[in-house]
Amino acid sequence: MEKKPKHKGGSGLLDMQFVTSSVSIMLVLLLLGLVVFFVLTARNLSDYVRENISFSILLSDDTKEADALKLQKRLDREPFVKETQYISKRQALEEQTEAMGTDPQEFLGYNPFRPSIEIKLRADYANSDSIDKIEKQVRQNSDIQDVLYRKELIDAVNDNIRNISLTLLALAVVLAFISFALINNTIRLAIYSRRFLIHTMKLVGASWGFIRRPFLLKNVWSGVVAAAVADAILLGAAYWAVSYEAELLRVITPGVMLVVCGSVLLCGVVITWLCAYFSMNKYLKMKANALYYI
């Protein structure tokens, strides 16, 4: 007798339902990963901006260069200092001459500039309150004549960073709920199509745990695959951005990408498991007649 070819149903791992479910979940996880990415890079960017705000310590005209360099070394050891730069009178004159296009010393007859030390603070100290305390501390040195910084600029930068951070945080919370809802709908539709199979398994005496297990495993695996694809896209985009502009490596750090990829994978596993678990319980609790009216 001629053997009839066996036709496998749609229960295979790579059936169309699994593929479409994985693609839908991947798009949602990609959006969620982008939000996490922007939240984390916004913090790095704020630190980068703060640490590039500098203030100047003006030294007395009679300060010897050796004393100025000793003062610079002492400042370098302070916890609030990220880096310092000593600018001599001659260097200040050369910089201003290049900026103005004329030499002030030619018509004044002397160098009007004083030696100074430019200080870049660590991000945690780049605010007006901390700088006020730092100013009082450094003014105790007799060689320091004045401390110059733009208070309004520092306040404006910190206000903008705080507003942006709060906006991104609120957006992250909203999108987290939206992501959960979208993934939940995708999984509910997939389980809905198997509701009569679930009821049949109940009729033959299968336990709820036994019925749930393959559905949970399949949906979690779908979440893992979707998360892996989303992570690959995010890593590729980050690599392209850093290759295009190497300076972005200060903001898009390996640590940031590790947290982003881990968050996407964790969300892919946890959300799909929870959604599948609650959806399965819904159909397991239903009576046979109710399955026809949903």
**Res. 8 pLDDT band, cuts 50 70 90:** very low
Residue with tokens 């790095």: 44
The residue behind tokens 């630190």 is 47
Angle, CA of 285, 286 and 292, to the nearest 5°: 160
* Residue 293 pLDDT exceeds 70: no
As beta bridge partners, residue 81 has 121
Residue type, 93: L
Residue with tokens 């004044």: 108
Please write the tens of the pLDDT for every residue from 101-152.
777 777 777 777 888 888 888 888 888 788 888 888 878 877 788 887 777 7
Burial (CB < 10 A; 0-12, 13-18, 19+), residue 111, is: middle
Please, which pLDDT band fits residue 9 given cuts at 50, 70 and 90?
Answer: very low
Question: Collapsing DSSP states into helix, strand and coil, what is residue 215?
Answer: helix
Residue 164 reports pLDDT greater than 50: yes
pLDDT at 175 over 60: yes
**Domains, in order of start, for the chain:** 16-48+157-293 (no CATH), 52-156 (3.30.70.3040)
Indicate the pLDDT class of residue 288, thresholds 50, 70 and 90.
Answer: low
C-alpha 79/C-alpha 75 separation (Å) is: 9
The pLDDT score that the predictor gives to residue 266 is 92
Interaxial angle between packed helices 195-203 and 208-244, expressed in degrees from 0 to 180 and rounded to the nearest 10: 150
Measure Cα distances from 116 to 63, 100, 172, 249 in Å. Answer: 10, 19, 44, 31
Rounded CA-CA distance 157/50 in Å is 8
d(CA 278, CA 270): 12
Q: What is the pTM of this model?
A: 0.68
Burial status of residue 287 (CB atoms within 10 A of its CB: 0-12, 13-18, 19 or more): exposed
pLDDT at 290: 63
Q: Mean per-residue pLDDT for 10-28? A: 71
- Give the model's confidence band at 6: pLDDT under 50 very low, under 70 low, under 90 confident, else very high: very low
Q: Is the pLDDT of residue 5 over 50?
A: no
What pLDDT was estimated at residue 289? 67
Run of H or E residues at 44:
helix 16-50
**pLDDT by residue (tens digit) across 28-72?**
889 889 888 988 888 888 888 888 878 888 888 777 888 888 888
Q: What is the mean pLDDT of the chain?
A: 81
* Cα(64)–Cα(143) distance, integer angstroms: 9
Distance CA 239, CA 131 (A): 37
**Helices (DSSP H) in 52-150: which residue ranges?**
65-76, 89-100, 104-108, 128-138
Place of tokens 């593929």: 19
User: Which residue, 219, 206, 225, 228, is CA-closest to 271?
Assistant: 219
pLDDT confidence of 2, banded at 50, 70, 90?
very low
The pLDDT tens digits for 178-235 are: 878 888 887 877 777 777 777 778 777 777 778 788 888 888 888 899 999 999 999 9
